[in-house]
Amino acid sequence: MDTVREFDSVWKKFLVMCKAKLMEKNKQCALSSSAAEMSVQDAASMWFDPYDACGQWLKRLEKDEPQAAKKVRAILQEIKLEEVPAKKGFPELGVIGIAAGGAAAGASVGAWILHLGTWGTLLSAAIPAVALYPAMKGYQKNEKEKAEKDKIAKYLEQLSLVREEIEGILNSTC
């Protein structure tokens, strides 16, 4: 059971490294399954580094349980991720449409209800459009950031299957 507890500890470090690599890759380009897989495999290299905590744990496992270590090593070398579908964000036309709708509403209020002149009507149209466009752009940006975080979380969730497989091996031998 000590081996499983130690594995839990180093697995957490591995997940933190995976999350950091995925976030770094996401800043560079759109996160596809192949890019995510490369990032996770890059993080998985820490299992094979004898100077890293993960590598030291695997080395001790090889000494104590060579068959289990061989299986664990094979699993860690072949981590595969499935594609996470991209969540559709708020479209640019929607942002423009809402700003235009606000302008139309402002113009109609200015012209028909308040009986403003030409300049008053133009201002009553421009003010809502100028106010709504940046607000909707901010909303659009927040939605995009949320979708990116969700995508990273879903890639990390897929690693739980790898963890379960390794824990199954450890529980059957230790």
CB 33 within 8 A of CB 42: no
The pTM for the full model equals: 0.75
**Using one digit for the tens of pLDDT, what is the confidence trace for 126-154?**
777 777 778 778 888 888 889 899 999 99
DSSP assignment of 13-42: HHHHHHHHHHHHHHHHS---HHHHHHHHHH
What pLDDT band is residue 121 in, cutting at 50, 70 and 90? low
**Using one digit for the tens of pLDDT, what is the confidence trace for 15-52?**
999 999 999 999 998 888 889 999 999 999 999 999 99
Domains of the chain, by residue range, sit at: 2-87+158-173, 92-142
- List of residues 6+ apart from 108 with CB closer than 8 A: none
